[in-house]
Amino acid sequence: MYYVWVALFGVLGALCRYLTGVWIVSPGFPLATLIINIVGCFLLAIVMKYLAELPYISKTIITALGTGFVGSFTTFSTFSLESIQLIEKHWYGTAALYIGASLIGGLLSSRFGFYVSEQWLNRRRNRHAH
Amino acid sequence: MLINMLLVSVGAVFGVLARLLLSNWMKTKWPMQFPLATLCINVSGSFLLGLLFASGLNSHFQLLIGTGFMGSYTTFSTFKLENIELHLKQKYRLFWSYIGASYILGIGCAALGLWVGNTYF
């Protein structure tokens, strides 16, 4: 069942990615992938640092949500291909903007997810202490 | 639209399971602080997507193997999560080498894949 859940949530993540790409049309700049990857970084941190700490959520569900859904929603291969395509077109400024935004935006978004998870866990602990 | 979604879904099943199995296998076989498994997955996936794109297969194959399989096989969110964990553990050398290796090898291997695809297919 473990693999079935991961595969099922992986399919949902991939479909969300595909539909977001169809919905966000931005010629000249790969905005869809950038948004997907930055949003996914925040979501994965919430899954792994908050939901995984809750006692009533099973390990299978965490792997299905984290590795399955968010892991398949975000993508590195499309990012790499889009970056090299911008470089091949000699759009160096756009390429630098895309790579830089993914590099810094992804890190900040993930770090923000860690921070929010910690806040929520503290709030839970305080509530249980009283 | 529905046939496209079906193609993406079928590819995604294999992509996500390949990532899970390969990642677990590598972590058991070579346990280390450096997130080698995700790096290998992202770099190999970037190469294969470049190869696929340059091979000029029709849009159904692009959706099945590219958007479905490679898109789900590689991952961006785990890469950043592992980065933040290294940073919080103050493993700054691993942090920077992981970022550098991912971006340079990832984009470099996508370029190599494009070149191989354009030259040989």
Question: Across residues A55-59, what is the average pLDDT?
Answer: 93
Total number of domains constituting chain A? 1
Higher-pLDDT residue of A128 and A53 is A53
Cβ atoms of B98 and B39 within 8 Å: the answer is yes
| Residue B104: partners with Cβ closer than 8 Å, 6 or more residues away | none
Q: Which domain holds residue A123?
A: 2-129
Helix intervals (H) in B30-91: 36-54, 59-61, 71-73, 77-88
- Which chain A residue is nearest to residue B88, measuring alpha carbons? A111
For residue A130, the model assigns a pLDDT of 67
Question: Across residues A89-107, what is the average pLDDT?
Answer: 97
For residue B34, the model assigns a pLDDT of 96
Contact with chain B for residue A30, Cβ under 8 A? no
Confidence band for A128, pLDDT divided at 50, 70 and 90? confident
Stated length of chain B = 121
ipTM: 0.95
Structure tokens at B117: 């695809």
Residues of A in contact with B106 (CB under 8 A): 76, 79-80
Distance, in Å, from the CA atom of A69 to the CA atom of A63, rounded to the nearest integer, reads: 9
Distance, in Å, from the CA atom of A121 to the CA atom of A50, rounded to the nearest integer, reads: 7
Residues of A in contact with B99 (CB under 8 A): 103
| Distances from the Cα of B71 to the Cα of A83, A102, B15, angstroms | 15, 16, 7
- Which chain B residue is nearest to residue A78, measuring alpha carbons? B71
| Residue A21: partners with Cβ closer than 8 Å, 6 or more residues away | A32, A33, A36, B67
Q: For residue A3, how many other CB atoms are within 10 A of its CB?
A: 17
Structure tokens at A35: 């948004």
Choose among A40, A63, A81: nearest Cβ to B77. Answer: A40
The reply to whether residue A76 touches residue B75, judged by beta carbons under 8 angstroms, is yes
Mean pLDDT across chain B: 96
The secondary structure of residue A60, as a DSSP letter, is H
For residue A127, the model assigns a pLDDT of 86
Question: Across residues A81-101, what is the average pLDDT?
Answer: 97
Q: Which of B85, B55, B92 is nearest to B70 (CA)?
A: B55
Over residues B77-115, the pLDDT tens digits come to 999 999 999 999 999 999 999 999 999 999 999 999 999
Contact with chain B for residue A86, Cβ under 8 A? no
Rounded (5°) CA angle A68-A74-A75: 110
